[in-house]
Amino acid sequence: MTLPIRVRLTLWYVAIMALTLGVFAGGVYEFLERQARGAVEEMLHQRASAFAHEYASEITEEPSEQAAREAAKNFDGEVFVYAGGPRLVAKSGRSPDPSGLPAVRQSIAEALGGRTVMLRVGRSMRAIATPIGGHLAVVALQATAAERESLKRARVAFWLAIPAALLIAAVGGFLLVRRSLAPVAAIAETASRIQAEDLSTRIAIADPGDELGRLGAVLNDLFDRLERSFAQQRQLIADTSHELRTPVTVIRSEAEVALSRERTPEEYRAALEIVRSESAHLTHLIEGVLTLARADARQIRIADEPFSLTAVVLESVRTAGTLARARSVELEPRADGLMPMRGDPELIRRMLLNLLDNAIKFSDAGGRVHVTAEANGSNYIVRVADSGRGIPETDQPKIFDRFYRADPARVRDGQGLGLAIVRWIAEAHHGTVRLASSGPGGSVLEVTLPGARSE
């Protein structure tokens, strides 16, 4: 079973604290032990040096065992004087002769050979063996009970203090973690209340500057985007339903009228022509809606291949020529050079056809549509200018909205999705589209696209 994150953080905190205290306690204990051992060894050196000085003061003519015995009589401290063998010559204090221990005998032999040796005698004594007078060795003893007791008290203090500190750290850490994670719990609770039907709830941010505040801001921004996306989808569905109602109603009405009684072939042909026209309108509408829906869902694969923008512009003008001739509108294309770029030529062609279709439909008979493509630095600018009546100033900001028509009288001329698709294709190619100008002499739509990237 996975532990809650606050418990895991507390355990990690306690574990790190335990490791830190353990290392600290070990270091302190090692320091205290070294200090205690150093103090005992310093005392032994001083005692051996004091006895050597006392021994030197008892020598009258030459070093002798008698001088060692005289020096030991009044010496304050545990010392033993040995000659070769080893043989005990003199002693001071009540401790028994330690020369029976192998380590002590070895140390006496080394001291008689001229070396000073520090050694441990049992668990409670330390000793020093050092030469004096050239043919004698003195062994000084010092009990380590006081030092051992001090170290024991230090160990007991550590064993009591460390668990107590860890317990306090665990309780304090748990409370601190719970307090620190309280905003996370609030974020989770708020997020759980947000439903697809109502995305207006937002996370309250106490401190925008800390990590949790930035997390809350990111989530609020995400909810904003989701709310806009859901609103856009709902609006798309509502607009689509509204737009579908008219052609479906027309088709049904024509069918019911045609079937209400016997008709002449000409009447049937007229009814079928209306059904065909509305079906084509319905097909274009559905294709446009599906295109935008798939674009919103990022389900349209956009090619990235080299092509000539000029070639696509000229091909689009030739394709739109039939519609232009049917409306007695003249198309005038102009392009600078090959204008190489990278992207999806089919989508660019569709974008241009939508612009041309829009310009032709809103131009009067005998009018002209100018299409120009030119380089501007590292970008290309495509302009489509019609000779229509222009777009009212109040309607200009809305022309790229879905299902929006600036001229309600021409509702059957389009689905109100052409310019929305144009904007999506331009933005998908890292470009922009805008209404450059509009007035009584016509409107100019301008698309800016990036040129070919340098390899």
CATH number, domain of 257, equals 1.10.287.130
Q: How many domains does the structure of the chain reveal?
A: 3
Q: Pick the last residue of a domain from 272, 296, 320.
A: 296
> Is the domain of 262 the same as that of 333?
no
pLDDT band, very low/low/confident/very high, at 412 (cuts 50, 70, 90):
very low
pLDDT of 74 higher than 60: yes
pLDDT band, very low/low/confident/very high, at 163 (cuts 50, 70, 90):
very high
Residue 181 falls inside a structural domain:
no
Q: Pick the last residue of a domain from 107, 125, 148.
A: 148
First to last CA, the chain: 54
pLDDT band, very low/low/confident/very high, at 410 (cuts 50, 70, 90):
very low
pLDDT of 23 higher than 90: yes
> Is the domain of 256 the same as that of 316?
no
Higher-pLDDT residue of 424 and 283 is 424
Q: Pick the last residue of a domain from 235, 265, 296.
A: 296
Stated pTM of the model: 0.51
Residue 184 falls inside a structural domain:
no
Higher-pLDDT residue of 123 and 432 is 432
> Is the domain of 310 the same as that of 284?
no
Q: How far is CA 11 from CA 20, 85, 123, 185, 229, in A?
A: 14, 64, 40, 20, 43
pLDDT digits (tens, 9 = 90+) for 214-273: 888 888 888 888 877 777 777 667 766 756 676 788 788 888 888 888 888 888 888 888
> Is the domain of 120 the same as that of 40?
yes
> Is the domain of 288 the same as that of 321?
no
pLDDT digits (tens, 9 = 90+) for 199-219: 777 877 777 777 777 888 888
Question: 416 lies in which domain range?
Answer: 305-450
Once rounded to an integer, what is the mean pLDDT over residues 332-344? Answer: 90
